[in-house]
Structure 1
Amino acid sequence: MARKRVTMQDIADACGLSRNTVSKIFNERGTVSEATRKKITKAAQELGYFQFLEEKTSKPGTHSQNIALLTHSKPMNHNFGSSFIINFTDQLCRAGYTLKMYEISTEELTQKKLPPHLMLENTVGILGIELFDRDYLHMICGLGLPTIFVDGYAHVNSSLLCCDLISMENIASIIALTERLIASGAKRIGFVGDINHCNSFYERWIGFCTALGSAGLPLDHSLCILAKDEEPYGDVDWLFARLEEMPSIPDAFVCANDFLAIHLMAALKKKGLSIPADVMVTGFDGSPESAVVEPPLTTVQIPSADIGRLAADILLDRIQNPDRPFRFTYVKTIPVWRDSIR
């Protein structure tokens, strides 16, 4: 008996939600809470929705070979990753390929090894996401398979990698955020995040520094929180302690993503400061949480669904045309102005 096709309505029924709410997650339209997103994603996985996407083909006689998704951090755990993967997978399956996901362990990352169950002879292309280790990326490129990475290690765009890369545009949007803060009266501005965590964080730092320089404002490291990504940025008490170490609280903070911004806002409130009256805060990602935090967070919207579809197109083109020049593709992002700035 043929397996019943899992639909969005099936997922909605399992969650006790409307089909429209489920559609918002998979089509990246509208805003839902993080708890709802996780509930929908979990139900979709349990019902086999993603497995169906991986296994279906739309054209008779097309390829039945695999695309390997390599990641060090499960991409379905955050808003960008879930929307990206759904649309990337759908695009590949329409071309007759199957996506197989492999989570790279810390040991495999350190030793530059592939997962033992990854069969290269059945793999025609590779997608790397949430992989920011320089040597590991170079090892994957050395396999000689069509490969595309989403983002990469800091300064990846200055390396001669034999692969395609795709990323959201970071510099222009951060410049726009910082210039808006300056126009709103901020003269002392700090940055929050590990600028070497990944290339996107590094580019957001570059945009921040560029905007300060263009306005003739100094870069004051004592107003920044630039600790390594391994530090507990999600711990409000830890962030509170970093604020206490500053000579004074700046007029505004530019944060490398929404996760950092939201937790920083909690630490600022714990310090008795009002946002945006005492200090302004911006994020980056356009996460659902950014719209519901109090006050709503000024952020940058990433078109993750479009990036997923475009990444699939680039990889499919690379498979068909392996000798074409490698490409580094940026996809435009859009600032979203909310009440966390004046």
Structure 2
Amino acid sequence: MSKEIWLKAIPFDKKLVTLGLESGVDGFVAEPGDADKILALGRTKVMTPEQFELIPICCKDDEGTAVTALKDCRPVFLAAGWEIIPVENILACTEGLGLECESLDRARLAAGVLERGADRLLITPEAVCDLKTIVNELKLSQGTMELTPATVTAIEHAGLGHRVCVDTTSLLKTGEGMLVGNSSAFTFLVNAETESNPYVAARPFRVNAGAVHAYCQMPGDKTRYLEELAAGSEVLVVGHTGATKTAVVGRVKTEIRPMLLITAEVEGVSGKVFLQNAETIRLVTPEGKPVSVVTLKEGDRVLVRTDVAGRHFGMRITEDIKEG
């Protein structure tokens, strides 16, 4: 999950604050007299030391102090120098914990404790040289998910339908795209339009994702229908290695186009996806190479994600559901 990343701007340093704004931090910790200086440089959040608790963990009692404050809904950061076991103990009891981090390695460690990590990171000026890396890794990255090679068993013409192009505000790479399918339990990796051809230039910000009714995998283990996406929505971008990150939707284009119905199978379980019948729409091979739906053949292998069916308004539920 994405982390809140705050930058400690004590003492105030205009270059430091400007870097923080350009890097995309969520907010700044600053002295009360410096708040207006920061807000004059960009629209952001500022928190003063009086508005949260910075707790050094020196003994077991300090863990209890942190847990009590968090349960009272007070912002808490553990001071730099925290150790893993106390952090695990606090995370096991409550949510909302923040950790002060003085380096890239400490930030990575903070984000991964108990596979969940702290909810907030407070980056100190000592780590400013790695600030962009910290933000890119810990705000955009959504961890990894397992992708499986599936065998294409059928490719059929499916008439006309409304298809959705998702234009993001990010530039995607070959082998990256969105997971889309007829069922939340079987989604296909649809490659972004990263490849050019003699007739059409590459549009690496775009995923021609499929029919309006299709599910797409979203951050936070959720799904949405493609038709629900809009400018400002946050979507999940997945690479062929399983690495995931977030991207923001800049525009959605829904148009009537000729469609194909593609069916694939993994160990006796099949899934389907409706995609536009055009050369620029591509699935992804296990080797990470885009393959156009126009040249796709029965027997070809493409990357999919299999899961357990069962969603209600995009949230995972335990229920006997069959989707086809």
Bigger proportion of residues as helix: 1
Q: Select the structure that is richer in strand.
A: 2
Larger Rg: 2
Do these two structures clear the TM 0.5 threshold for a shared fold by scoring above it?
Answer: no
Which of the five TM-score ranges fits, normalised by the shorter chain?
under 0.3
How high is the TM-score relative to the length of structure 1? 0.23
